[in-house]
Structure 1
Amino acid sequence: MRTVISEKHEFYGLPEYAVDEIDDISVVAGAAIYHLPIGDGMILSFVLRGHGAESDLLRVALHGARTAKVKLPYFLRVNSSLQDPYPFLAFSDPTLGLDRGNLLSWYLGTPRVDVDDWMEAVIRHVASKIDSGGVIFEGSSGGGFAALRLSARFSSSVALCFSPQTDTFNYLGGVFVKRVVRNLFGAADRDVVQSAYPYRFSVIDLYRDGMHRNNLVTYAQNDGDDEHVRDHMSPFLQSIEYDAATGRSNLDNFVLVREHVADGHGPHPITRWNELFEESVQRLRRHIMAADPLPPGAEPSCDRRGQVGLSGVDRADSADAPENIGDGATPMPVVAPTDFSDGRLAFRVYPPKDHATASRTLVAFLHSVVDPTVHPHPFLDSPLRPRELGAWSVVIPDPTFSSGSTLRVGWYLGQESWDPLLDVEKALLRVAERTDCEEVLLVAPSTAAIIASRLVARSTVFSALFLAPVFSLADEGRDSKFVRRVHESAFPSFASIQDVARSDSRASWIQMDAARVRVFVNSSSPSWGAVGSVGLDQVNAARASSVLLPESREGLFSGQQTAANPAGVASIIEEHLNG
């Protein structure tokens, strides 16, 4: 529900709304202030302008310390940012509302509520609505810390930070962070709190340990600020093994800008800020074109807590007590997701939103690209799975990932001694039987098309939605780093990945019934034109009867990206269920 608080905020002059859920946020052209409760007495307040002339990128501003005269909510650079062509978000730190005497708290939240989780969810919601391909996070000082921390969750983003703190305990002897830790976290010892809440108080640890999605960083440091050069920049550069002579580090997309702009911890002039902003925009656009990362609205959310979801409901922990799928004697869950394992496969079954009207179709979500630093195997959810669905659903992670911690794509190949095809088929058919479903709809993005095509060829129970499919390893190229990693991790005794013939099963293509398959493509994507369309042509050339016809749907893919928009996929699934 959205409720009007004020037609015009007393300071910012914008309409104000209170919302109960993220879905209540209205992403429109006009600017407004929203207030969202996130738990533990905190209200996440933010300014949003949902559209602009340059809507391919979303601008996100994060503030640092405020003065005692500044009232909450406090937003960075609202007036100037609302004049530029980019969609815009500015967040006020809700942690400050819990201790009105504190002037800086880095969006740290409370032990139970990590504010970054909620800001990430709002950003992904807005990005999906405006079809944004990337995010620019900007902030100075404490806001620069927040920009570094939040940008690490988005592969298509850049953190533009000006003289940021990188370790909250190193700022002014820890005077601000110790107040937060004492009053909100109930602790005083630095080692204890950092161990209990890793990566929340220091971005040095975050980037040193590789807990980022290879986002871009523009680190602008004022050389006249001796304290931040010594206590924040230098430890951060050391942690990423930065070489001043070459500008290289273990971060692929890191740029350091050092210049004297003022004596002490003064802000960068607005003209210089704007120049570096535009340079960062161009870097991000080149990165998106070259690397084709998942857009913010389609990328899986980052959850480093593993305990409490955004709804406040405890999540199941699949590693603790997975149930054995057994012989079907164990009843399906009534209201909660439940994890299963048959010793090699792990998967999670989700109930429908309404058991009484549930569809007779089981919707099965398969993985394509998975970031192991954020979602270690087994990742038992899918960014494409609607949170409310009128059908039973199941997510089956790719078991190939268990053979290598750095794998991002596995094609469900398994290992040398095990082809998981029969086990995946058996698990899906058994879940369908126990949920009284007559059809299994496979949702197969990109490289998951290989296992899905093999399943569709085996039984008429299976149907499939192929989303920008890659039908064979050959389409990826034998020198692809993803192919090479699977070869090295899962099939080390094979001379080449081409000797692993399971994936390139043209007999499966011939046996696929086109009436049970829909292929959705992004015809404007360069990767589809260069790879995907060729693969589909090969499939159809091998078929003796009906061909697989590619379909296009506006809004299903973002710009030139091949990653599907979850809302678009949900719409197609609902059409199928209601068809």
Structure 2
Amino acid sequence: MSTEWDERTEAPIVEAASFAEAPLPEAGERQLTRLTHPDDPRLTVETLLLRRDHPDLVVVLHGALVRKDTTLPRFEWLRTLRDRPENLLFVSDPSLAVDQAIPLAWYIGPQEHDVTARLADEVAALAGRLGTARTVFTGSSGGGYASLALAARTPASLAVSFSPQTRVSRYEHMPVKIFRTRLFPEHADMDSVEAAHRDRVDLTHRWAAGPDQPDAFVRLVHNSGDPGHLEDHVQPFLRAAGVDPDAADGPRFSLVFDDFAQGHSPPRPAQMRDQLDAALAWHDSVR
């Protein structure tokens, strides 16, 4: 065990190439684990594990950051969720370390390094070592996108996605432009990025109905005060998945609404906790 200590998270620091070989904390303890990258130290994945004696693993992803006000790693929702009974894994997007200008990268990574794929493998390794019965991915906005992307790579998992983006190119112009120019610099526009990496940047394609649709569950919790994201992201995602957005309460996809605030706003802490509980209960009823 490392003797280094992280004051911000009040946790010991461990470095390892993978969760397959990293030491893990005892139940009731926490640990900041840096999953190193062999070729590029900027792509080290920083995680915070709060270990419990529980069969569920909840993986928590963050959304966009105001970079001048934020110190990486970012473990969003830590104060909100830290008292929950499940194993909790908070993950900071390593894509942001590539360039200080990037406010949001959806855990996609640069064109030569698929962060989503790597992270899905790491979560699977950790889940196996914890004896996990259910893996849950959750986050809001850009973190909601990442929860859907990771669930697509994790059979039988559950994504609890709060007001997510579902196609990068449909998001706001400036963050998308920064994402493309810093992480996919060989591409002149998002059409070119989509043509080469569509599974990574377009979840309406990744979750499209058909034989290759992921074998996982989706609970979309949308802010009723955010009609723009409903029209641009949530409804197209459900239609592509073969689900009627006006009656999305089926065996694998569910859409519910809650009033977070006007505009594209995250849930309040109590809403985050209550909606996560409701999603787990829904999942229990349909799986």
TM-score where L is the length of structure 2: 0.90
What is the 5 A alignment of 1:51-450?
Answer: 52-53=52-53, 55-67=54-66, 68-173=68-173, 175-186=174-185, 187-210=187-210, 211-244=212-245, 246-247=247-248, 252-288=251-287
Q: Which amino acid aligns with 2:58?
A: R
Q: CA–CA distance in 2 between the matches of 1:77 and 1:145? A: 16
Quote the offset at 1:57 in angstroms: 0.9
Q: Secondary structure at the match of 2:236?
A: helix
Q: CA–CA distance in 2 between the matches of 1:58 and 1:176? A: 31
User: Please, which moves more after superposition, 237-246 or 33-42?
Assistant: 237-246
Cα contact 2:80–2:269 (8 A) shared by 1: no
Q: CA–CA distance in 1 between the matches of 2:248 and 2:119? A: 31
Q: Which amino acid aligns with 2:229?
A: H
Quote the offset at 1:82 in angstroms: 2.8
Deviation readout 1:151-207 (Å, 9 max, x if unpaired): 11222211111111111111112x212212212222122222112112111111111
CA RMSD of aligned residues (A): 2.0
Quote the offset at 1:267 in angstroms: 1.5
Q: CA–CA distance in 2 between the matches of 1:248 and 1:85? A: 27
Residues 259 and 21 of structure 1, relative CA distance in 2, 3 Å threshold: closer
Q: Secondary structure at the match of 1:160?
A: strand
User: Please, which moves more after superposition, 213-222 or 234-243?
Assistant: 234-243
Residues 284 and 27 of structure 1, relative CA distance in 2, 3 Å threshold: farther
Quote the offset at 1:36 in angstroms: 1.4
Q: CA–CA distance in 1 between the matches of 2:10 and 2:76? A: 15
Q: Which amino acid aligns with 1:172?
A: E
2:21 aligned with 1:20: no
Q: CA–CA distance in 2 between the matches of 1:153 and 1:212? A: 10
Structure 1, gaps ≥5 residues long? 289-579
Look up the match of 1:396.
none
Cα contact 1:166–1:232 (8 A) shared by 2: yes
Cα contact 1:178–1:188 (8 A) shared by 2: no
Q: CA–CA distance in 1 between the matches of 2:194 and 2:129? A: 36
Quote the offset at 1:104 in angstroms: 0.8
Look up the match of 1:48.
49
Cα contact 2:139–2:160 (8 A) shared by 1: yes
Quote the offset at 1:244 in angstroms: 4.6
Cα contact 2:20–2:126 (8 A) shared by 1: no
Deviation readout 1:23-81 (Å, 9 max, x if unpaired): 3322232211111123444111000123x24x211111000011231100101222343
Cα contact 1:133–1:156 (8 A) shared by 2: no
Quote the offset at 1:255 in angstroms: 0.6
Q: Which amino acid aligns with 2:57?
A: L
Q: Which amino acid aligns with 1:22?
A: F
Deviation readout 1:240-260 (Å, 9 max, x if unpaired): 2432554367xx410111233
Bigger relative contact order (CA 8 A; separation at least 6): 2
Look up the match of 1:36.
35
Cα contact 1:138–1:144 (8 A) shared by 2: yes
Deviation readout 1:221-244 (Å, 9 max, x if unpaired): 112113212221232233224325
Q: CA–CA distance in 2 between the matches of 1:259 and 1:232? A: 17
Q: CA–CA distance in 2 between the matches of 1:205 and 1:77? A: 29
**How high is the sequence identity, in percent, across the aligned residues?**
28
Deviation readout 1:118-169 (Å, 9 max, x if unpaired): 2112211111112111111110000000001101122221111111111111
Cα contact 1:134–1:284 (8 A) shared by 2: no
Q: Which amino acid aligns with 2:155?
A: S
TM-score where L is the length of structure 1: 0.46
Cα contact 2:243–2:253 (8 A) shared by 1: no
Deviation readout 1:325-373 (Å, 9 max, x if unpaired): xxxxxxxxxxxxxxxxxxxxxxxxxxxxxxxxxxxxxxxxxxxxxxxxx
Q: CA–CA distance in 2 between the matches of 1:62 and 1:168? A: 16
Q: CA–CA distance in 1 between the matches of 2:179 and 2:229? A: 21
In our comparison, the structure showing a higher alpha carbon Rg is 1
Q: CA–CA distance in 2 between the matches of 1:199 and 1:168? A: 11
Aligned residues: 280
Q: Which amino acid aligns with 1:224?
A: G
Deviation readout 1:513-552 (Å, 9 max, x if unpaired): xxxxxxxxxxxxxxxxxxxxxxxxxxxxxxxxxxxxxxxx
Q: Which amino acid aligns with 1:276?
A: Q
Cα contact 2:209–2:242 (8 A) shared by 1: no
